Each structure stands twice: as structure tokens, then as C-alpha cells.
Amino acid sequence: MEKHKRGKTEITLIVISVLFVLLMLVFPLVSVIINSLKKGFSFYFSSLTTPYVLSALTVTLLATIIAVLVNTFFGLVAGWLLTKFDFKGKQVLASLIDIPFSISPVIAGLSYIMTFGRLGWANPIIQSINRTFGLDIQIVFAIPGVVLATIFVTFPFISREIIPVLNTQGRDEEEAAALMGAGGFKIFRKITFPHIKWATIYGIILCTARALGEFGAVAALSKTRGKTFTLPLEIDALYLSGASDSIVAAFSVSSLLVIIAIVVLILRNYFEHNEKVKKQED
């Protein structure tokens, strides 16, 4: 009787979960693909090769690559520091890393405007550097602002994948190596990093996915279509134009992000599986 009840409960939960995933995730994404092909494959491919879309794709990839590189470096440093060393303010630093999780991306964009914009406290410094060296550095409403916004929203992803793994590992191996005379970076390369290799790759994948889809923070710092727009902003511009062709083109560009998301999901599952296999072997 109890097994029968558990079986019914299990089936009910499976049905609810599958229906929710289908209604909230699968069907909307499938509708994007269907609408992107409404005017045929020739229109679909021409929509993906317009100057505006190619520019947006270039900006998106540039911002994503820089954000991933910066956050990978920071994630490794912060993860190593917070798990292997004790110092004053450790918990404060750990909490500060999580700020992008709890703050609206739009607010992040506005904070950069109030820092580097015309009325920002850093603007006189930037203008002084420009006058002294004959440069034309611009942060707000330029590519550097888009990159900074992307870095901000993806800031915690890699460190938060690494830290739990390092906490589980403990410090015994590193302390033993240090007692035997090994240097800090040698310990990290030979002992620490092999334990977090898969977690780092997993974090990079999550960081990449988040960077590709960022809208709010970038929208606050980008205003020129064809120069500083990313793919999400270009999709928004196409859809809001209201023309039939533009709306279908918006779905076409959206499908590109959907395809990238699916590829990222496959890669994430692959590396997650490898990490589990590695743990079982250990």
C-alpha cells in the first residue's frame, strides 16, 4: 500500500515537473524557432547577416570574451584566497562577491553612469588623462562601458563554482606541500588547480551564457545601434520597430541566442558528468 502511494506521488510530481518545464521553457523556445522561419530560410539567414546584427554579434562576443577572461582570473584568485587563507574581513569580501546576484542589472548600469558619466566623480580624471596624452577614452555609451557592465553581472559565477569544491578539499594537501618546501604557485598548479579544473570550466560556461544574454546593465550604458548594441539590444530594437519583417528578424536573431544556449547546456552537462565521474574515480 505504501509503495503504491509512493508510486502515485512520484508520478504526480513527474507530471507536474514535465508540464511546468514544457509550458515555461520548451514551448516558448520552440515558438521562437518557428517564428524565426516564418518567412523562409533565405530571409532567416539574411536577417542574421545585416550590418547591425553582425556589429551586435561582434560587440557581444568581445564583451563576453573579456568578461570571461577577467572573471576567470578573479574567480581563481578569490576562490584560492577565501578557502586557503585566513585574514580579517574574509566574510566581508565573500559577501561583496555576491552583490551582482542581489542587485538589479539596470542599477549596475546606472551606477557606472554616475561613476564614469559626464556628472560622475571619475569623469574629470578621464578627461585629464585624455588632455594629457591626447587620447579619447570614453567609458559610458561606448564599448568599455558595455564590457564593464558584462563583467559586473557575471562577476560571481566562476568564483562561486570554485569555492565549494575547495572547501570540500580542505587544506591538508597544501599544508603538507608547504611543509616540504613547495612554493605557493607551485602548490596551486600541482595540487589545488587539478581539484577545481572541472568546476572552473563549468563556471566559465555559466559565465559565458550569462554574458551572452545580458540586457539591463548593457542597455543603460549603450545607445548607438550598430556600434555599442549587443545581440539582446538589437533584438529589442528590431521587435520594437513594429514592422512585420523586423519582428520576424528579431525572432531570427533570438533563435541564434537559443541555439547558443542549447550548445552551452550540452557543454555544461558534459563537464558536469565528467566532474561526477572524476569524483567517483577519486
Choose among 66, 51, 104, 107: nearest CA to 229: 51
The confidence score (pLDDT) of residue 175 equals 77
Residue spans of alpha helices (H) in the chain: 2-21, 27-36, 41-47, 51-84, 90-97, 99-102, 105-116, 123-133, 143-154, 157-169, 172-179, 184-187, 193-213, 216-221, 231-240, 244-281
* Residue 11, pLDDT score: 87
pLDDT in tens, 231-247: 999 999 999 988 889 99
| pLDDT of the residue at 192 | 83
- C-alpha distance from residue 75 to each of 104, 135, 156 (Å): 21, 32, 7
The model carries a pTM of 0.88
In whole angstroms, what is the distance from residue 23 CA to residue 33 CA?
Answer: 15
Q: Tell me what pLDDT residue 143 has.
A: 94
C-alpha count within 13 angstroms, C-beta hemisphere, residue 203: 28
Domain boundaries, the chain: 39-281
Residues 6 or more apart whose Cβ sits within 8 Å of residue 147: 62, 63, 66, 67
Q: Return the pLDDT at 279.
A: 66
3-state secondary structure of 189: helix
Cα distance between residue 92 and residue 58, in whole Å: 37
For the segment 150-200, what is each residue's pLDDT rounded down to a tens digit? Answer: 999 999 999 999 999 888 887 778 878 878 877 778 888 888 888 888 889
pLDDT for the residue numbered 89 = 86
- Of the candidates 277, 143, 274, 257, the residue with the CA atom closest to the CA atom of residue 208: 257
pLDDT of residue 49: 93
Q: Cell 539596470, residue? A: 106
Residue ranges of the chain whose pLDDT lies below 70: 1-6, 275, 278-282
Q: Which has the closest alpha carbon to 162: 85, 280, 78? A: 78
Kindly state which CATH superfamily the domain 39-281 is placed in.
MetI-like (1.10.3720.10)
Q: How far is CA 93 from CA 96, 98, 108, in A?
A: 5, 9, 19
Three-class DSSP category at 134? coil
What does the block give as the cell for 185? 604557485
Place of cell 520552440: 30
What is d(CA 174, CA 83) in angstroms, rounded to the nearest whole number? 11
Instruction: Mark residue 193 as left, alpha or beta (left: phi above 0; alpha: psi -120 to 50; beta: remaining).
Output: alpha
Could you tell me which of 98, 218, 211 has the C-alpha nearest to residue 156? Answer: 98
